[in-house]
Structure 1
Amino acid sequence: MQALVALCVLVGGYLSSARGEVVGSFQDIPECLDFFYQGKVPDWGAATPGAARLCQRFKNSYHFATLYDTHHRIAVYSAYRFQTSDGGGREKRWFVEPQLVDLNWGTEMRDGYWLGQDNPGIYLGERQALNEDYTHSGFDRGHLNPNGHHAVPRRNATFTLTNVVPQNPKLNQNAWRVYESQLTDLFNAKCAHAFVLVGAIPSADNWIIKNNVKRVNIPEYIWNAYCCLDNNGRPIHSGGATALNTEQNRVDQRTLTDLTGFLQQYTNSPVGELFLNNCEA
């Protein structure tokens, strides 16, 4: 009997830890830690009120991790591993996270339109942005984890509204797009593996407003950090960037140390390391 009880506890614990996409800690799902260098989750953003940890699940696999700010309805950051693109097309759907509506719902991201059709009368947008929030807003759905840094199906999985922020169209389609392309060239030429964080710093009070309701915060800055490894898994290069989310259309490239100092301006807590040992061997 004791052995049976122990087995039930073990199985129950396993099912609890494998519960789904919205987790209490990224450590709850080991596959989710694969998107952080050496499994180290940064302290940055951990104390964000209402933060949700999303292990982004699509087609029965985990593809990246997102720390999501349910108050501002934008991501604090998305963490991913770079993949060389296979040239697949852009996803035409926009997904939402069912478990931000009800923790008992499915673990996979869903097309927001069809999730709404399947659950009439239930509002999906209390804790996340919806596609209609961006419609006619004047802002792009700016990917944090960019689709161009992945092959299919991971490329498709980046089209979740929990991975985008309202981004100035001029910045998104010009300087930031160029920067992402430069990273693609760098990672393909010099890195056997690359771990990346891309985040947003919310504005004090600048929002997409729908029907007189503040729906989605318009970030003040977009930022990026990366850690590049050789074939033996040793760090060989790192860096980052920040961009004011305006028509200024400028990306400032930074060292990780510079970036940490920049982020420190927006928190009263120590930023800490974005990557283990600051991506140093």
Structure 2
Amino acid sequence: MVKEFSESVPSAKTSKTRKTSQRIRRPSKHRRIFALLLAAVGLSVSSCADRLLQEGRELEQLVRELGTPKQNHQRVSRVGSGHQRNASGDFAACRQFFANGRPPVLAPQPTQRALCYDAFAILHSGASKTPVYVAEKLNRAAVADADEVRTNRFFADARLRPAERATLDDYKGSGFDRGHMAPAGNMPTAQAMAQSFSLANIVPQAPQHNQGAWRVSVEAATRKYAAKASGDVYVITGPVFLPSIDESQGIGPGNVRVPRYLFKLVYDEDRNRAWVHWHRNDNATRAAQPISYEELVRRTGIEFLPGVYPRG
């Protein structure tokens, strides 16, 4: 009996060896989970690196295709001083939305139209059927007064030629949100709220970006800053297209162009500070550190604050 018992039950040493062998052959549940997590993180880092590399290439392509500020100033000069005066004079009824009353300097195009609204100003492009930029002036009083009920009544702006404006049909079934450049949440009156739904103030925007990072980290953050600022805060928002690609990509019967990037320039006049939110128009975009004003000018070739910033 003793012999049978000893043969049927392994020794302590043998049992320990087998357990060790089992541990080597089959990793614990925690180790397997940890390995999976490492693999997932590695994939995420690789994906992020690829995305950053792609964006870097696109930005350099932007600079090459859109031109430097110096080149664009030369284009403006070739048009003639009389045209420059007329172009800037189009905003005569709404200069208050620009720092020192000076609109951005860029080479004028035949289909660009200056539009004045109660709470913002738009330079509109009939080529893209979107804004070139939208300008606002915010301060404590303006933000405190922005408590209007959202209307959601989008409309095509009749001041624009039919061939140069977006329509409601362009956005139907497109998969893109109608993204405000001057946010509805900034509007101080019922009329200004209604005006903000003009399609001249709208771009095709990736839904998750519009409702997520852009709304929270850009629009709400800008309002919060303006509500605490000691003076006026000038804000310029707009789309950026990659000409060689985005010109052939649009939505709807009118081929409204889809921007590759969106920016929001914030300039605190009292503190003489400027920074720029720069986001890729993509559902995967998350909050990011702002870029400098100088970098925005380099990427777009446009002087958004001519003779105003930087200030000595």
Q: Which TM-score applies when normalising by structure 1?
A: 0.71
Q: Match for 1:207 among 231, 244, 250? A: 250
**Which residue of structure 1 lines up, in the alignment, with residue 232 of structure 2?**
193
When Rg is computed on C-alpha atoms for both structures, the one with the higher figure is 2
| Separation in structure 2 between the aligned mates of residue 170 and residue 191 of structure 1, nearest angstrom | 33
SS of the residue 2:255 aligns to: strand
Q: What's the CA shift for 1:26? A: 4.3
Mapped pair 1:173 → 2:211: yes
SS of the residue 2:159 aligns to: helix
Mapped pair 1:89 → 2:149: yes
Q: 1:80 to 1:273 in 2, by over 3 A?
A: closer
Q: Match for 1:145 among 163, 171, 182? A: 182
SS of the residue 2:163 aligns to: coil
Identify, as 1 or 2, the structure richer in helix.
Answer: 2
Larger RCO: Structure 1 or Structure 2 (Cα < 8 Å, ≥ 6 residues apart)? 2
| Separation in structure 1 between the aligned mates of residue 91 and residue 284 of structure 2, nearest angstrom | 40
Question: Contact 1:195/1:226 (CA < 8 Å) preserved in 2?
Answer: yes
Question: Contact 1:241/1:251 (CA < 8 Å) preserved in 2?
Answer: no
| Separation in structure 1 between the aligned mates of residue 108 and residue 264 of structure 2, nearest angstrom | 20
User: What letter corresponds to residue 311 of structure 2 in structure 1?
Assistant: E
**Which residue of structure 2 lines up, in the alignment, with residue 280 of structure 1?**
311
Question: Contact 1:73/1:128 (CA < 8 Å) preserved in 2?
Answer: yes
Q: Match for 2:267 among 227, 231, 236? A: 227
Question: Contact 1:242/1:254 (CA < 8 Å) preserved in 2?
Answer: yes
What value does the CA root-mean-square deviation take over the aligned residues? 2.2
Q: Match for 1:34 among 89, 96, 104? A: 96
Which segment is superposed worse, 81-90 or 133-142?
81-90
Provide the identity percentage. 26
**Which residue of structure 1 lines up, in the alignment, with residue 277 of structure 2?**
241
Q: 1:130 to 1:275 in 2, by over 3 A?
A: same
Runs of 5+ consecutive residues of structure 1 not aligned to the other structure: 1-23, 57-61, 102-124, 265-270
Question: Contact 2:122/2:135 (CA < 8 Å) preserved in 1?
Answer: yes
Q: What per-residue deviation string (whole Å, max 9, x for no partner) do you get for residues 80-113 of structure 1?
A: 1122143211123223322223xxxxxxxxxxxx
Q: What's the CA shift for 1:239? A: 1.0
Q: What per-residue deviation string (whole Å, max 9, x for no partner) do you get for residues 132-187 of structure 1?
A: 21111100000011111231132332111000000000110001001111111111
Runs of 5+ consecutive residues of structure 2 not aligned to the other structure: 1-85
**Which residue of structure 1 lines up, in the alignment, with residue 65 of structure 2?**
none
Question: Contact 1:49/1:71 (CA < 8 Å) preserved in 2?
Answer: no
5 Å matches for 1:110-121? none
Question: Contact 2:105/2:306 (CA < 8 Å) preserved in 1?
Answer: no
